[in-house]
């Protein structure tokens, strides 16, 4: 009886010491975008958000520049789109950073999405498109983030 208990304990100990298998899914050079909330080992990570950097207000008829970065400096934006449907079954090409069916790219300077607008009406507005940003973490894993931003246009 003691030998059976000892064998069970040894089995549990060995089983609990095994490393988790990576949960990253690759098909050729494409990585599945299914790890937004996990690290390479499958452990939960803090949500990474798009952070807008916008002026307090914009003067009617003048060009304004809006910038978006990630909330975590270890995750750098490598590509950005708008009007693009994506989910956790989508893939990104790890060489070209292209996502299938996403064609409307946004400007990217270093790891910052840059959008320039010249508003023609006063009031409170929300950027009319959902922004999709793809980031690459220090762990080499690609993740996607969506968001938009609001802004206020005032008369001179």
**Tokens read off for 108:** 């990217």
Fold of 20-154: Immunoglobulin-like (2.60.40)
Instruction: Tell me the domain boundaries of the chain.
Output: 20-154
pLDDT in tens, 4-61: 655 555 555 555 555 555 688 999 999 999 988 888 888 899 999 999 999 988 999 9
Q: What is the pTM of this model?
A: 0.81
CA nearest neighbour of 153 among 123, 115, 127, 120: 123
Count of other CB atoms within 10 angstroms of residue 130: 14
Residue 64: HSE in the Cβ half-sphere, 13 Å Cα cutoff: 20
Count of other CB atoms within 10 angstroms of residue 116: 9
């Amino acid at each position: 009886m003691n030998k059976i208990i000892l064998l069970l304990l040894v089995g549990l100990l060995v089983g609990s010491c095994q490393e988790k298998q990576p949960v990253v899914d690759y098909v050729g050079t494409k990585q599945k975008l299914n790890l937004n909330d996990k690290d390479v080992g499958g452990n939960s990570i803090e949500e990474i958000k798009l952070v807008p950097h916008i002026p307090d207000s914009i003067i009617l008829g003048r060009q304004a520049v809006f910038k978006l970065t990630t909330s975590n400096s270890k995750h750098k934006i490598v590509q950005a789109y708008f009007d693009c449907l994506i989910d956790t079954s989508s893939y990104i090409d790890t060489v070209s950073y292209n996502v299938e069916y996403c064609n409307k790219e946004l400007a990217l300077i270093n790891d910052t999405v840059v959008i320039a607008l010249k508003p023609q009406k006063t009031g409170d507005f929300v950027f009319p498109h959902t922004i999709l940003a793809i980031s690459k973490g220090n762990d080499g894993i690609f993740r996607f983030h969506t968001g938009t931003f609001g802004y206020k246009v005032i008369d001179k």
